């Protein structure tokens, strides 16, 4: 079980543009970090670099468990969730099919899947095609992955943007429960996170 994420001297470049350099960050279990910064400062890129989708120009991202470092492939394949603007949901498939597929691909069990449906109040949406869902409903379906396949590190990119006030509160409880169980949260946000979090500013 992952209990620490360490980012050291990270520099990211997109195209010709240097987004930031020398970014260091230490995230321990039970902790949440809110990444802030202007549009285009590199918050999303930082999350994608942690997920291994972008290779950093310099610096390193490492994952640890109590007895030592975890292989990056293992950590990324079994230990983290990435929830971005694009939710990976196919518009022509039903909510149940999509959630079921992603939960299995990301290593979740049937019990976890039922819990996710309950936690995000998805029951009435399950039979609907994804294209018939509103932006907020789609986001809830994407968020359900976090519960449907339990993994310690959550990388969240503006997770609450399309949610209504009651669902924001609900998601706040979800995040708190995750932190209480020893989870780690790294979230790019513009508004404050609904859980106690350290703020790290990305970019100048």
Interacting residue ranges for other proteins, rule: CB under 8 A = 48, 51-55, 76-78, 80-82, 84-90, 92-93, 97, 100-102, 104-107
Give dist(CA 120, CA 174) in Å, integer.
Answer: 9
Q: In angstroms, give the least distance from the CB of 53 to other proteins.
A: 5
Q: In angstroms, give the least distance from the CB of 77 to other proteins.
A: 5
Q: Which CB, 24 or 91, lies closer to other proteins? A: 91
Q: Which CB, 83 or 179, lies closer to other proteins? A: 83
As to burial, measured by CB atoms within 10 angstroms (0-12 exposed, 13-18 middle, 19+ buried), residue 127 is exposed
Q: In angstroms, give the least distance from the CB of 31 to other proteins.
A: 21
Q: In angstroms, give the least distance from the CB of 78 to other proteins.
A: 5
| DSSP 8-state symbol, 151 | -
Q: In angstroms, give the least distance from the CB of 138 to other proteins.
A: 11
DSSP three-state, residue 68 = strand
As to burial, measured by CB atoms within 10 angstroms (0-12 exposed, 13-18 middle, 19+ buried), residue 80 is buried
Q: Which CB, 40 or 77, lies closer to other proteins? A: 77
Beta strands in the chain (DSSP E): 4-14, 17-28, 32-36, 58-65, 68-70, 80-83, 153-157, 184-188, 198-201
Q: In angstroms, give the least distance from the CB of 55 to other proteins.
A: 6
DSSP three-state, residue 104 = helix
Give dist(CA 14, CA 12) in Å, integer.
Answer: 7
Q: Which CB, 3 or 157, lies closer to other proteins? A: 157
Q: In 107-164, where does DSSP find H-type helix? A: 110-119, 135-148
- Count of C-beta atoms within a 10 Å radius of residue 197: 19
Q: Which CB, 82 or 189, lies closer to other proteins? A: 82
Q: Which CB, 100 or 172, lies closer to other proteins? A: 100
């Amino acid at each position: 079980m992952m209990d620490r994420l360490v980012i050291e001297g990270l520099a990211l470049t997109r195209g010709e543009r240097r987004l930031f350099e020398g970014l260091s960050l230490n995230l321990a279990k039970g902790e949440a970090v809110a990444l802030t910064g202007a549009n285009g400062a590199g918050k999303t890129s930082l999350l994608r670099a942690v997920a291994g989708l972008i290779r950093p120009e310099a610096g390193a991202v490492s994952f640890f468990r109590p007895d030592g470092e975890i292989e990056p492939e293992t950590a990324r394949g079994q230990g983290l969730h990435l929830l971005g603007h694009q939710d990976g949901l196919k518009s022509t498939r039903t909510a149940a099919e999509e959630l079921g597929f992603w939960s299995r691909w990301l290593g979740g069990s049937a019990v976890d899947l039922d819990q996710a449906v309950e936690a995000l109040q998805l029951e009435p949406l399950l039979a609907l095609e994804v294209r018939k869902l509103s932006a907020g409903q789609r986001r809830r379906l994407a968020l359900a992955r976090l519960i449907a396949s339990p993994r310690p590190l959550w990388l969240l990119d503006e997770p609450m943007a399309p949610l209504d006030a009651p669902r924001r509160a609900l998601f706040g409880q979800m995040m708190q429960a995750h932190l209480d169980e020893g989870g780690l949260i790294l979230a790019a946000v513009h508004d404050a996170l609904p859980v106690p979090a350290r703020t790290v500013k990305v970019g100048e």
